[in-house]
Structure 1
Amino acid sequence: MKIAVIGGYGPSLINFRGSMLCAMKAAGHEVYGIAPMDSPEVPEKLAAMGIKYIEVPIQRKGMNPIKDLTALLSLIRILKKIKPDAILSYTIKPVIYGSVAAKLAGIKNIYSMITGLGYAFGQTSGKRGLLFKLVKNMYRAGLACNDTVMFQNPDDRDLFKKFSIIPQSKPTVVTNGSGVDLEHYTSSLVPAGSPVFLCVSRLLKEKGVREFGESSLLLKKKYPQCQFRLVGPHDHGPDSISDDLITKWQDSGVECAGPVDDVRAELKNCSVYVLPSYREGTPRSVLEAMATGRPIVTTDTTGCRETVREGQNGFMVPVKDISALEKAMEKFILQPELLQKMGDASLEYVAEKFDVNKVNATILKAMRL
Structure 2
Amino acid sequence: MENKNRLKILLVANTGWYLYNFRLPLARFLRLQGIEVVLVSPWDAYVERLQAEGFRWIQLRLSRRSVNPLVELLTIAHLTYIYFREKPSAVHHFTIKCVLYGTIGAKLSGTRAVVDAVTGLGYIFISTEWKARILQPIIRFLYRQILTARRVRVVFQNMDDLQAFADRKLIVPDRTVLIRSSGVDLKRFSPRPSHPDTPPAPVVLFAARLLVDKGLIEYVEAARILKTKGVRATFQIAGVPDPGNPSSISETTLERWRREGAVDLLGYAEKVENLIALSTVVVLPSYREGVPRILLEAAAMGKPLVATDVPGCREVVIPGKNGFLVPVKNARLLANAIEVLLKDPDLCKAMGDAGREKVLREFDDQDVVRRTAKVYEVIGVMLSSDMAATEQ
Question: Is the pair's TM-score, using the shorter chain for normalization, greater than 0.5?
Answer: yes
What stretches of structure 1 of length at least 5 have no aligned partner? none
1:99 Cα offset (Å):
0.8
Q: 2:270 is aligned with what amino acid?
A: D
Q: Pairwise mapping of residues 166-315 of structure 1 onto structure 2 (< 5 A)?
A: 166-167=171-172, 169-189=173-193, 191=198, 193-235=200-242, 238-241=246-249, 245-250=253-258, 251-315=260-324
Alpha-carbon distance in 2 for matches of 1:6, 1:244: 33
**Alignment partners' CA distance in 1, 2:204 and 2:43:** 35
Distance 1:238 1:290 in 2: 29
SS of aligned partner of 1:60 = coil
- The superposition leaves residues 60-85 of structure 1 with CA deviations (integer Å, 9 ceiling, x where unpaired) of 22222222211111111111111111
- For residues 198 and 86 of structure 1, what CA distance do their matches in structure 2 show? 39
2:361 matches 1:352: yes
Q: Tell me, yes or no, if the aligned pair for 1:152 and 1:176 is still in contact at 8 Å.
A: yes
Deviation at 1:149, TM superposition (A): 0.2
**Counterpart for residue 147 of structure 1:** 152
The answer to whether the Cα contact below 8 Å between 1:217 and 1:252 also exists between their aligned partners in 2 is no
Give the conservation status (yes or no) of the 8 Å contact 2:280–2:342: no
- Report deviation, 1:276: 0.3
Paired with 1:8 and 1:235, the residues of 2 have a C-alpha distance of 12
1:25 aligns with 2:31: yes
User: Is the Cα contact below 8 Å between 2:119 and 2:290 reproduced in 1?
Assistant: yes
Q: Any conservation in 2 of the 1:147–1:170 contact (CA below 8 Å)?
A: no
Matching residue within 110, 120, 138 for 2:142: 138
Q: Which runs of structure 2 are paired with 1:85-164 in the superposition (5 Å)?
A: 85-122=89-126, 128-145=132-149, 146-164=151-169
CA distance in 2, matches of 1:23, 1:148: 20
Distance 1:252 1:188, change over 3 A: same
User: Would the aligned equivalents of 1:231 and 1:258 in 2 still touch at CA under 8 Å?
Assistant: yes
Amino acid at match of 1:165: L
Per-residue deviation, 1:186: 2.8
Aligned to 1:10: 16
Aligned in 2, Cα 1:238/1:17: closer, same or farther, shift over 3 Å? closer
Structure 1 match to 2:373 = 364
Q: Is the 8 A contact 1:9 1:60 kept in 2?
A: no
CA distance, structure 2, for counterparts of residue 136 and residue 238 of structure 1: 19
Output the amino acid matched with 2:202.
P
| In structure 1, distance between residues paired with 2:177 and 2:160 | 12
Bigger CA drift: 240-249 or 351-360?
240-249
> 2-side partners of 1:58 and 1:247: how far apart?
30
CA distance in 1, matches of 2:288, 2:52: 35
Using the TM superposition, give the Cα deviation of residue 238 of structure 1 relative to its aligned residue in structure 2, in angstroms.
4.7
* Deviating more after overlay: 140-149 vs 121-130: 121-130
What is the deviation of 1:266? 1.3
**Distance apart, 1:262 and its partner CA:** 2.5
Give SS of 1:11's match.
helix
Counterpart in 2 of 1:334?
Answer: 343
- After superposition, what is the alpha-carbon deviation per residue over 1:299-351, rounded to whole angstroms, capped at 9, x for unaligned? 11010111111111111111111121111101112212112221121111111
Cα 1:124/1:25, change in 2 over 3 Å: same
Percent of counterpart pairs with the same letter? 37
Given residue 31 of structure 2, which amino acid in structure 1 is its aligned partner? K
Cα separation, 2, equivalents of 1:332 and 1:125: 35
One-letter amino acid of the counterpart of residue 155, structure 1: D
CA, structure 1 residues 245+4, in 2 after alignment: closer, same or farther (shift >3 Å)?
closer
SS at match of 2:16: coil
- The CA RMSD over aligned residues, in Å, is 2.1
Give the Å deviation of 1:256.
Answer: 1.9
**1:14-67: per-residue Cα shift (whole Å, max 9, x none)?**
22111100111111211111111223x52x533443422111212222222222
Distance (whole Å) between structure 2 residues aligned to residue 232 and residue 150 of structure 1: 27
Q: 1:313 to 1:242 in 2, by over 3 A?
A: same
> What is the CA distance between 1:257 and its match in structure 2?
2.1
Contact 1:123/1:132 (8 A) holds in 2? no
Residues 36 and 247 of structure 1, relative CA distance in 2, 3 Å threshold: closer
Gapped runs of 5+ residues in structure 2?
1-6, 378-382, 384-392
Q: More displaced, 305-314 or 187-196?
A: 187-196
Give the partner amino acid of 2:357: E
Counterparts of 1:45 and 1:223, CA distance in 2: 44
Label 1:240 to 1:45 Cα distance change in 2 as closer, same or farther (>3 A).
closer
Segment drifting more, 135-144 vs 353-362: 135-144
> Do the aligned partners of residues 246 and 45 (structure 1) sit closer, same or farther apart at CA in structure 2, a change above 3 Å counting?
closer
Alignment CA distance shift 1:195-1:365 (3 Å):
same
Deviation at 1:12, TM superposition (A): 2.1
2:123–2:246: 8 Å Cα contact kept in structure 1?
no
Distance 2:11 2:160 in 1: 24
With the length of structure 1 as denominator, give the TM-score of the two structures. 0.93
> Corresponding residue for 2:380?
none
